């Protein structure tokens, strides 16, 4: 029988456990039911009193407190609005609580104007409340009243000096006011407390960029390039920094990475394409640049100077010699100018005696020209611009003609000459050649040079 004793002990323990469980469950149900009955009783009693007196302050207080604890923000806002309007919140503490709870409920429901009103009244009753100062500060930030935001949040910071949300909003407010130094101080503190705040990290990089601390800014932007939310904008500024440093390959990689992000804001997408196109133009990749410019034009025909750029570079893209004249390295430019000099006078013998280049902006070529009717020394000046050339440039060219004892000067540009420049040359042996004529020359120069070489006698 001894072996039965452990079994009996186990059975008894199990029965006792089940009994205790049933007692506790019944008590729990009783308490839950009691709470439900208590809530229903409060609502029933309060509504009954409000039927006879809609402004019964005690009933409104009880209902408001119940709904606030349950986070039923719609009923909370409605109840405290009635209580405030009826003047039932008597005494500073009761009035503060009613307006604060009304403002918080309105904020939770997205009614910012009503929230602002409730918090403002509550702050008039208590300037030291952290919740009031913080929430009002955020609302002022949303209204772009950054000076008021800073005032309120500095007050909130007295109560909670290491609150990440307070420090963050303070930093962003100073940034909006173009006070980068103060912004950096608070945003760095906020990031230390909340390292996953990518928006603040991005703003910190913007602060560095505006403060000309581009190395620190670039490190952060490079880190953020792959972020789903901030990545496209980070790529835009990272690319801009690289473009300003003339690191065009890196800039192109940044802009292309930015465009591969999904859900890009329209303004960021357009600016990425525009910046990419301008860098490609600097790299003489006109075809790809035109592709991006035309995409921008389809989306926004008036975006910056896209239309003029398309007009200009479509012509360049169709004329290789025009590209060389305006955009190629100095060596290619001078080689083209030599061709233009050789082809300028038909059936003439041309001997180039001197070439000088001015900072890749212009080239002077001195040539001895011998034709069946005349011989002379001619000075050519080729100016690499599509803008307007004034009188001072022409005067300088005339002085140079005298120095080298040239009989005539020919000044050539892809742009135009001002009226003063043209008047200056009227009584002088200087020819001015503008865009239309130069374009025609560039279109035929290769054929003319080839024909000249065919006519030249072959030396044995």
Give yes or no for residue 229 having a pLDDT over 80.
yes
Residue from 126, 99, 103, 100 nearest 113 by CA: 103
Give yes or no for residue 35 having a pLDDT over 70.
no
Q: Given this model, what pLDDT does residue 336 score?
A: 95
Q: Is 229 helix (H, G, I), strand (E, B) or coil?
A: coil
- pLDDT, averaged across the chain: 87
| Cβ–Cβ under 8 Å, residues 163 and 138 | no
Strands (E), 164-283: none
pLDDT band at residue 350 using 50, 70 and 90 as cut-offs: very high
Residue from 83, 13, 1, 91 nearest 50 by CA: 83
Distance CA 450, CA 453 (A): 5
In the chain, % of residues over pLDDT 90: 68
Give yes or no for residue 258 having a pLDDT over 50.
yes
**What would the two tokens of residue 320 be?**
């290789």
Distance CA 306, CA 274 (A): 8
Give yes or no for residue 102 having a pLDDT over 80.
yes
Q: Given this model, what pLDDT does residue 33 score?
A: 46
Q: What is the pLDDT of residues 436-454, one digit of tens each?
A: 999 999 999 988 887 776 6
Average pLDDT over residues 284-307: 94
Q: Given this model, what pLDDT does residue 32 score?
A: 46
Q: To 10 degrees, what angle do helices 214-224 and 198-210 make? A: 150
CATH 1.25.40.10-classified regions of the chain = 47-319
CATH 3.40.1350.10-classified regions of the chain = 323-455
pLDDT band at residue 47 using 50, 70 and 90 as cut-offs: low
Q: Quote the pTM value.
A: 0.69
pLDDT higher at 200 or 10: 200
Compute how many other C-beta atoms are within 10 angstroms of the C-beta atom of residue 262. 7
Q: Which long-range contacts (CB under 8 A, 24 or more apart) does 436-441 make?
A: 438/325, 438/412, 438/413, 438/414, 439/319, 439/322, 439/414, 441/340, 441/343, 441/344
Compute how many other C-beta atoms are within 10 angstroms of the C-beta atom of residue 194. 14
Distance CA 273, CA 291 (A): 10
Give yes or no for residue 10 having a pLDDT over 80.
no
Distance CA 52, CA 49 (A): 6
Average pLDDT over residues 348-357: 94
Per DSSP, the residues of 267-297 read: HHHHHHHHHHHHHHHHTT-HHHHHHHHHHHH
- By the 10 Å C-beta count (0-12 exposed, 13-18 middle, 19+ buried), 137 is classed as buried
Average pLDDT over residues 203-217: 94
Does domain 47-319 bear CATH number 1.25.40.10? yes
Give the phi and the psi of residue 378 in degrees, each rounded to 5: -120, 135
Exposure of 262 in the CB half-sphere (CA atoms within 13 A): 1
In the chain, % of residues over pLDDT 70: 86
pLDDT band at residue 52 using 50, 70 and 90 as cut-offs: low
pLDDT higher at 50 or 205: 205
Per DSSP, the residues of 44-71 read: HHHHHHHHH-TT-HHHHHHHHHHHHHTT
Q: What is the pLDDT of residues 391-431, one digit of tens each?
A: 999 999 999 999 999 999 999 999 999 999 999 999 899 99
| Cβ–Cβ under 8 Å, residues 286 and 316 | yes
pLDDT band at residue 46 using 50, 70 and 90 as cut-offs: low
Give yes or no for residue 302 having a pLDDT over 50.
yes
Query: Given this structure, which CATH class describes domain 323-455?
Result: alpha beta
Q: Given this model, what pLDDT does residue 318 score?
A: 81
Q: Given this model, what pLDDT does residue 5 score?
A: 54
Strands (E), 331-426: 349-358, 362-370, 375-383, 388-389, 408-413, 416-417
Lowest-confidence region among 86-90, 116-120, 197-201: 86-90
Q: Given this model, what pLDDT does residue 38 score?
A: 67
DSSP designation for 371: -
Average pLDDT over residues 314-342: 90
Looking at the DSSP assignment, which residues form a beta bridge with residue 369?
350, 376
End-to-end Cα spacing for the chain = 135
Q: What is the pLDDT of residues 141-198, one digit of tens each?
A: 999 999 999 999 999 999 999 999 999 999 999 999 999 999 999 999 999 999 999 9
Lowest-confidence region among 33-42, 300-309, 393-402: 33-42
| Cβ–Cβ under 8 Å, residues 241 and 261 | no
Give yes or no for residue 369 having a pLDDT over 50.
yes
Sign, CA dihedral 241-244-245-248, equals positive
């Amino acid at each position: 029988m001894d072996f039965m004793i452990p079994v009996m002990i186990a059975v008894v323990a199990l029965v006792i456990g089940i009994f205790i469980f049933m007692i506790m469950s019944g008590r729990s149900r009783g308490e839950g039911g009691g709470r439900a009955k208590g809530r229903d009783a409060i609502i029933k009693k309060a509504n009954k009193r409000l039927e006879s007196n809609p402004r019964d302050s005690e009933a409104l207080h009880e209902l408001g407190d119940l709904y606030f604890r349950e986070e039923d923000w719609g009923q909370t806002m409605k109840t405290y609005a009635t209580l405030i309007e009826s003047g039932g919140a008597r005494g500073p503490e009761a009035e503060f609580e009613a307006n604060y709870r009304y403002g918080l409920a309105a904020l939770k429901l997205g009614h910012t104007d009503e929230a602002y009103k409730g918090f403002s009244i509550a702050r008039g009753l208590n300037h030291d409340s952290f919740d009031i100062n913080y929430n009002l500060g955020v609302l002022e930030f949303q209204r772009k009243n950054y000076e008021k935001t800073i005032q309120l949040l500095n007050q909130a910071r007295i109560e909670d000096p290491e609150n990440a949300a307070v420090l963050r909003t303070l930093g962003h407010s100073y940034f909006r006011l173009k006070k980068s130094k103060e912004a950096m101080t608070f945003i760095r503190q906020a990031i230390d407390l909340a390292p996953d705040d990518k928006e603040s990290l991005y703003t910190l990089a913007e602060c560095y960029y505006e403060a000309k601390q581009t190395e620190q800014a670039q490190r952060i932007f490079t880190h953020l390039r792959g972020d789903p939310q901030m990545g496209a904008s980070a790529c835009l500024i990272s690319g801009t920094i690289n473009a300003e440093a003339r690191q065009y390959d890196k800039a192109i990689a940044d802009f292309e990475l930015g465009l591969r992000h999904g859900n890009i804001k329209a303004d960021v997408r357009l600016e990425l394409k525009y910046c990419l196109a301008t860098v490609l133009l600097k790299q003489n990749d006109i075809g790809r640049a035109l592709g991006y410019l035309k995409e921008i034009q389809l989306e926004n025909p008036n975006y910056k100077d896209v239309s003029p750029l398309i007009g200009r570079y479509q012509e360049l893209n169709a004329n290789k010699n025009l590209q060389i004249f305006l955009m190629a390295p100095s060596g290619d430019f001078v080689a083209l100018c030599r061709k233009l000099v050789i082809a300028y006078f038909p059936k003439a013998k041309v001997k180039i005696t001197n070439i000088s280049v001015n900072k890749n902006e212009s080239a002077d070529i001195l040539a001895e020209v011998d034709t069946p009717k005349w011989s002379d020394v001619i000075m050519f000046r080729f100016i690499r611009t599509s803008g307007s050339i004034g009188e001072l440039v022409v005067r300088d060219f005339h002085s140079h003609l005298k120095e080298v004892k040239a009989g005539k000067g020919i000044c050539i540009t892809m742009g135009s000459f001002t009226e003063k420049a043209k008047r200056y040359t009227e009584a002088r042996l200087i020819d001015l050649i503008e865009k239309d004529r130069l374009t025609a020359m560039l279109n035929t120069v290769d054929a003319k040079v080839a024909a000249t070489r065919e006519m030249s006698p072959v030396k044995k």
